[in-house]
Amino acid sequence: MKYEFPKDFWWGSAASGPQTEGAADVDGRKPSIWDHWYQEEPGRFFNNVGPTNTSNFYYQYKEDIQLMKETGHNSFRTSIQWSRLIPDGIGEVNPKAVEFYNNVIDEMLANGVEPFMNLYHFDMPMSMQELGGWENREVVSAYATFAKTCFELFGDKVKHWFTFNEPIVPVEAGYLYDMHYPNVVDFKRAAQVAYHTTVAHALAVKEYHALNQDGEIGIILNLTPSYPRSQNPADLRASHIADLIFNRSFLDPVTKGEFPADLVAILKEHDAVPVHTEEDLAVIKHNIIDILGVNYYQPRRVKAKEYAAHPDAPFMPEHLFDNYEMPYRKMNPYRGWEIFEKAIYDIAINLRDNYGNIPFFISENGMGVEGEDRYRTSEGSIDDHYRIAFIKDHLRWLHKAMDEGANCKGYHLWTFMDCWSWANAYKNRYGLVEVNLDDNYKRTIKSSGRWYKELSENHGFEV
């Protein structure tokens, strides 16, 4: 059977500035929260590997864009680092950064790779964090200025813009679960961060549409379907709550212009309603996205609470549901994530039926594997057959959803080349292209990269 996709389908991959560029302390860039946290607590990072050099894209972008072409890319998403372009968060623009990003964009366009540009990928400038980060309304305004600056500098060439990548992650990891800086555990502050992020997003959309640059603007959300253990009403209620908190908290306001009433009720019940204004709510209402990026990696499985939380424990979302481990689930043991390909279909059908069939694309999907060197062939490349199988299995379900009317425009793998992955550093490798950190960042195309070119050229694959 042939799984055929449209001729104008976007085939490519996604990355981010802080995870690939390196050059963290050159040409005027100033620290982000990652640089600061690494200096404070290097032991929180796998093998003590920090963000200073990452994958050296800043110096090797021309070679990398050639490799994108060799691996069948017609599009690629990365991000502009706020701390590189406007090093103090506000104020003067860094001319070296303007030169670099223009060079990258021009090189991509010259090689037939359409640039998809994201503005915020977890990388708050430390100068802005010192003001309180997303808890501070001044930082929201500074971000809107940063966004407008990017549109004015690069919008003549970049026609696909995204305000945030996975905005729920800084909320969860930075303000609930002590996984990212600033390592806060406080639900009310987390809710304020989420709300201000939504306002910042809407202001950026407003700025972009006001410029009439003949492009589109959206947001990248990691949608994690919440599956109930059973059809028991208590389990169904648990899955509904998890969906509200982790998916619809951002999905609804960016597509429908308002927060779900059930979510607002939960915030009221737990004294966590953010400080807000009617003016902000109007901005959210009237500045919805043109296109949605969907990152999908794993499902969320939940069940009704079995035991009440300790009365002295800080309130957490998991006080309203329990996570559920389904027996015999298929796992990626390196990342600790369940592999459940059908969820990509369920996401697409949900967008079709409940979100006006909004245009979307799969903006991330991928498989991180530790110790890939054991799959090295005699020719010296990595035979990552498991990654090819992973992509095929997800594309089958995506194809089915498109056959049933889902409005999907493309598929971007995470990621193009092995990159630094936050606190996990280089523990797991995700790339179509290997990066050898011990050999001057040497790039070698993996089996999946060769196959990905065939996928792109043939507009699909056969089974």
Q: Where do runs of H (alpha helix) occur along 303-371?
A: 342-354
Distance, in Å, from the CA atom of 287 to the CA atom of 215, rounded to the nearest integer, reads 15
Two structure tokens written together for 58: 């800043």
Tell me how far the alpha carbon of residue 339 is from its chain's centroid: 18
**DSSP state, residue 273:** P
Separation of first and last alpha carbons in the chain: 5
Q: Where do runs of H (alpha helix) occur along 277-323?
A: 278-286
Distance, in Å, from the CA atom of 8 to the CA atom of 342, rounded to the nearest integer, reads 24
Active site residues: 364
- For residue 415, is the peptide bond before it cis, meaning its omega torsion is within 30 degrees of 0? yes
Helix H or strand E segment including 314: none
Distance, in Å, from the CA atom of 178 to the CA atom of 182, rounded to the nearest integer, reads 8
Task: Judge whether 367 and 332 are in contact, CB under 8 Å.
Answer: yes
Distance, in Å, from the CA atom of 330 to the CA atom of 334, rounded to the nearest integer, reads 12
Q: Output helix, strand, coil percentages for the chain, rounded to the nearest 5.
A: 45, 15, 40
